[in-house]
Every structure is written in structure tokens, then in C-alpha cells.
Amino acid sequence: MVRLVAKHYHRTEDEGRTLVQTALASAADLIVGEKELHIVLTPMSSAHRSRAVSEVCEEINACAVNFPGSNLRLCYSVAGAG
């Protein structure tokens, strides 16, 4: 995931791992729809970090992965980063 962040965040060498850890440990809202499970992450500590994580979410969403054991497609986003 750090490699994915590197395309969108110029401080990846110094802060990339921390950014990924923070994003993975952040609170999120889960919204269950008929075809999607939408995971809305809370914004990061700054707008540029939220944008970087949001870009990674879009790349992950493009993979069209289903939640295990269901037909629900996982869809990630960052609140307010859009």
C-alpha cells in the first residue's frame, strides 16, 4: 500500500508507512447497500493526506473486490475528499 501512496504523496519516504497505518486504523462508517459495502474513512489530519488516501481508495475500488462470503462489492472513500 505504501507503493500506491507514493504516486499521490510526496512525503512517502518519510511518512508513507505512518500514513498507511493511520488510514487502516482510522474510524469508518459502513454503509450496506444492495450491491455495495461502502467504507467511508474519517478524514486524515490534513487535506493533502486525505487526498492521497482518497486516491488510493479509488485505485482499490477499480479492482472490484467483493466482501468475502457475499456479493457485496467493497467501495472505499474518505469523508469530504471528493
pLDDT of residue 82: 61
Helix H or strand E encompassing 9: none
* 66 secondary structure, DSSP code: B
Cell of 55: 486516491
Report how many domains make up the chain.
Answer: 1
pLDDT of residue 14: 84
Whole domain around residue 65: which residue ranges? 2-78
Separation of CA 11 from chain center = 18
pLDDT of residue 32: 97
Low-confidence stretches of the chain (pLDDT < 50) are: none
C-alpha to C-alpha distance for 71 and 9, rounded to whole angstroms: 33
Helix H or strand E encompassing 25: helix 12-25
